[in-house]
Amino acid sequence: MKIGVLGTGMVGNALATKLASLGHDVMMGARSEGNEKATGWAADNSAEAGDFAQAAMFGEIIIFATLGSALIEAANLAGPENLDGKVVIDVTNPLDMSKGFPPTLIAEMANTTSAGEELQKALPGAHVVKALNTMNCEIMVDPSRVPGTHDVFYCGNDQAAKDKVAALLNSFGWQDPIDLGPLDAARGTEGMMPFWLRMYGTLGNAEFNYKIVKA
């Protein structure tokens, strides 16, 4: 499958590397063509690199792994027309880092909306699915880093798109992803990030995850 990964940071790198290792054709997208991080990653992984628009055109599935604060700008640079009819996976969190640690959620993307919902508004022809935003990027692609069973969540408005994302999560090693329903459930999963960051500070490392225990 052809997959475009938008973002050259730790999250984008981890996801793109995992997908390439699974045999997918991957293009890493950056703000500008020729970005050194993207081209370096592509050379190391026998893959491709381009700008956001090129990666959006390339992929059957597109993953947004940018900063949450740059999400809508990235969508505009990718070109909404390049994403029509495609599954778009949003792994971002709308964090405002301007006042240092701990960050807060960006007000315009919280409580009554979410980054996932705002991305869907910016890409009306795409099928946005929120997933993988409640954990460290290394655990995203390798759940075995945390012993035992634990959970990954996803939500979206299109069931066929969610089914494709669930299958991709299975290929990463997630045995039973939890479907939270429509995309507005992203308000809850994004709201978990301030707590996650507090827990990270308490534990001193990011090797942990959520587990839902049912009676």
Q: Alpha-carbon distance 176 to 137, whole Å? A: 18
CA triple 62-130-11, angle to 5 deg = 60
Strand partners for 28: 5, 49
Instruction: Assign 208 to helix, strand or coil.
Output: coil
Q: Where are the beta strands (DSSP E) in 1-86?
A: 2-6, 25-30, 48-51, 61-64
Its sign, for the CA torsion 73, 47, 2, 92, is negative
Q: What is the pLDDT of residues 2-50, one digit of tens each?
A: 999 999 999 999 999 999 999 999 999 999 999 999 999 999 999 999 9
Average pLDDT on 161-165 reads: 98
At residue 121, what are phi and psi to the nearest 5 degrees? -65, -40
Q: Which amino acid is at 89?
A: I
Q: 2-203 — its CATH code?
A: 3.40.50.720
Q: Which residue has 């798109």 as its token pair?
A: 161
Mean pLDDT of all residues in the chain?
Answer: 97
Instruction: Convert the pLDDT of each residue in 44-89 to its tens digit.
Output: 999 999 999 999 999 999 999 999 999 999 999 999 999 999 999 9
pLDDT category of residue 172 using cuts at 50, 70 and 90: very high
The confidence score (pLDDT) of residue 99 equals: 77
Distance (Å) of CA 20 to CA 56, 77, 120, 159: 17, 24, 26, 26
Confidence of residue 201 (pLDDT cuts 50, 70, 90): very high
pTM over 0.85: yes
